Every structure is written in C-alpha cells, then in structure tokens.
Structure 1
Amino acid sequence: MENQQVARRSDATRATILDAARARFAADGYEKATIRAIARDAHIDPSMVMRYYGSKAGLFTAAVAIDPGLPGLSLEPREEIGRTLVRHFLTLWEENGELTALMRVGATDPAVADRMGSVLREQLIPLARLLGPEPEQAQARARAALCASAVLGLALTRYVLRFPASVALGREEIVDWLGPTVQRYLTAPTP
C-alpha cells in the first residue's frame, strides 16, 4: 500500500514537471528555458527535476511528444498519399508549437536528433516499405529519408526560420507543390 502511494506521488510529480516544462519550453524556447524556472513553475526543488530527468535535454526529450500518427493515416486512394501526408504534417506543425522547439534543439543536440530519427525508423520506413515498388529495406530507408527531408525542410523554412516566401504559401499551395514530390519519393520506380 505504501509503495503504491509513493509510486502515485512520483507519477504525479513527473506529470507536474512535464506540464511545467512544456509550458516553459513553448513560452521561452529551449535555450532560454531553465531548470530553475521549470522547477519554480512546478513548485518543486530543481534537484527533483534533475533526479527524474537527468538534464535539460532529457527533460525536453520527455516533454515533447513526437508521434506523427502515420500508421493511422488512410492509404487510399494510393495516388493521393503524398498530398495526404503533406496535409497531415502541416496540421501537426500548425497545432503543436512544441515541434518548432524540437526542430531547433534537434539541430544541435544528438539525443534529441536521435529521438526525431526514431519517427523515421518507426513510422516512415515501414510506410515507405508498404508503398514502394520494391520490398528492399535499403530502398525504403532512402524513400523515407527523402520524404523526411522534404517535410522537415519545409517545416524549417516555414515554422523555425520563418522565411517570408515559405510563410506566405497557403496550405493548399504547399500541398500542390510538395504532395507530388512526396508521392514520387514513396511510389516511383527506383531511378
């Protein structure tokens, strides 16, 4: 009974820390957010944050969810999957400010970059294998990497660097331009 109460308190403390971290990272960005500020927001001692998460990067990695939900996407009609994926990614980026922070941190922190890469390994590669004309794992990895570079390149220029030309594009313009490219990467014969 006592162990269950301790576990519940521990889970509650972790959840409180993660909530405070998400809010602080979203408000201040990764660089400006501090363990002290997050601990203050969570009403706990900073040492507790370190105890549970080890470092600021560890806390960030735990606080930012990276599940694009690709396995749940409809793959029909097959000739529209590129457009469907681009729309899906646009929605993710527009509804989740944490992804912008994640992109910034992932460019400089290997642990966060590896976490981002797990999405490629766990979701995009199986999707590329399913849709590609050949069953080889190497081709699926190449196809997934090209899709990721297209989508992440757009996200970088539109949501992180905020290039005026990228920001000015409407959703359907992006879908019209990028959708066929993603479609080709996933389904075209290997060159």
Structure 2
Amino acid sequence: MDWTPVVRFSERSAPTRQAILEAARARFAKDGYEKATIRAIAADAGVSAAMVVRYFGSKADLFALTTQAGFAELDLAHVPREEIGRRFARAALEPWERGDNEAMAALHRAAMTHGEAADAVQRLIDRQVLPALRAVFPDDPDIETKAGLVHGQGLGVIVGRYLLRLEPLASMGFEDLVAAVGDSVQRYLVP
C-alpha cells in the first residue's frame, strides 16, 4: 500500500520520499521504535530532519507507514468462501515466514509498551485488514468485530512463532500452520 500524503507533493519529491521510507524501514528494523530517531533516519536518507517531518509528520506516522502489511493488495473477492480463512492466513504469515518483516517485528515488539506503536497496529486493522474483509462480506454487520478477532488470532501466532519462538509453534510446518490458523480465521468469518 503506497502512502499518500495529505499535502500533495510534486513527482520530483518522490525519490526523496522513497529514500526516507527505505531509510526508516532499515533504521526501525535495526534500532526498534524507541531508539530510532528522525535525525538518524534523515542522515541515512541524506536529507535534513526537517525534510522528514515535512513529508511524513511525526516519528509515529513514519513508523506506521514503514510497517504496513500486504492486506491492501489482498483480493478475496473471487476466492471460494470456504477457502477465505486459509488464503487470509497465508497472506498474513508468508512475509513472516520468509523473514523479510523486520520492520513489522519492530512494530509488534514496540506495540507492547508504546502507545504510538499500538496505534500503528490498530491502523493496520482499520486500513488494511478490515477493508480486505469488508470487500468480501459487505453486508456483515459484525465485520469490525470479526476483523479484530482475525487480527488477534494472527497477532498471537506472530508473537508466539516469530518473535518469542515458542515450541511447538516455532517448529511447526508452515503448511500445517496455515491450515490451523486459516481454519480458525474461517470460523470467525463464516460461523
């Protein structure tokens, strides 16, 4: 999902904004939310700290943008209803399984102790998980609650398997994990 600023910037600034985002992803992954600074991100991107603030606002806003999940691109409209849970689980867990989710790991660790990071996780639900599910279940009056339950299920697995490496979850085969989590997600969505 691309970040669209409230203020419209020219296309000339796109490379600078992209450099800042890439520097922020790397810095948050390396240092975590607490230790990363706007100044360090700016230095990594080769711009001034004022430029980072101008384009992205606060550290919390930049952090949220660097940790967006892939649900914005998840199209479940043509997936048979009985397969939605597993498809959703696969989309949520594959980036973690590949190990290319360092910024997301930093977000989830920080969310346990920092309100701004917890707000960023909430925005993931509101801006990505909920719309992906609402597109498939547009008439479901309980879809917000169900999206929260689905995300809670995923958070438990992410923390247990990928952050804390709890056994036997950590050594479970990925296909078995997708099936188990997907079936739970399915029960939330289609009771």
Shared fold, TM over 0.5: yes
1:183 CA drift (Å): 1.7
Larger radius of gyration: 1
Write the distance in 1 (CA, Å) between the matches of 2:36 and 2:77: 34
1:104 and 2:112 matched: no
Which of 53, 68, 74 is the matching residue for 1:70? 74
Write the distance in 1 (CA, Å) between the matches of 2:135 and 2:111: 23
Which of 111, 121, 124 is the matching residue for 2:130? 121
Q: What is the letter of the counterpart of residue 106 of structure 2?
A: A
Contact 1:83 1:176 (8 Å CA) reproduced: yes
Deviation string, structure 1 residues 100-132 (Cα, Å, up to 9, x no partner): 2232344432541332122233122443x26xx
The residue number in structure 2 matching 1:172 is 175
Write the distance in 2 (CA, Å) between the matches of 1:182 and 1:117: 15
Write the distance in 2 (CA, Å) between the matches of 1:82 and 1:7: 40
Is there any run of 5+ residues in structure 2 with no aligned partner, and where? 1-8
Is there any run of 5+ residues in structure 1 with no aligned partner, and where? 1-5
Deviation string, structure 1 residues 138-185 (Cα, Å, up to 9, x no partner): x22232222221122111212223324321222122123222222222
Within a 5 Å distance, the mapping from 1:1-191 to structure 2 comes to 7-68=10-71, 69-72=73-76, 74-76=78-80, 78-95=81-98, 96-97=100-101, 98-107=103-112, 108=114, 109=116, 110-118=118-126, 119-127=128-136, 129=137, 135-137=139-141, 139-188=142-191
User: TM-score, normalising length from structure 1?
Assistant: 0.77
Secondary structure in 1 aligned to 2:10?
helix
CA 85–54 in structure 1, closer or farther in 2 if over 3 Å, else same: closer
Taking only aligned residues, the RMSD between alpha carbons, in angstroms, comes to 2.5
Q: What is the letter of the counterpart of residue 79 of structure 2?
A: L
Count how many residue pairs are aligned between Structure 1 and Structure 2. 176
Contact 1:106 1:116 (8 Å CA) reproduced: no
The structure with the largest helix share of the pair is 1
Question: 106-115 or 59-68, which moves further after superposition?
Answer: 106-115
User: TM-score, normalising length from structure 2?
Assistant: 0.77
Contact 2:76 2:84 (8 Å CA) reproduced: no
CA 141–9 in structure 1, closer or farther in 2 if over 3 Å, else same: closer
4+ residue runs over 4 A deviation = none
Write the distance in 2 (CA, Å) between the matches of 1:58 and 1:136: 31
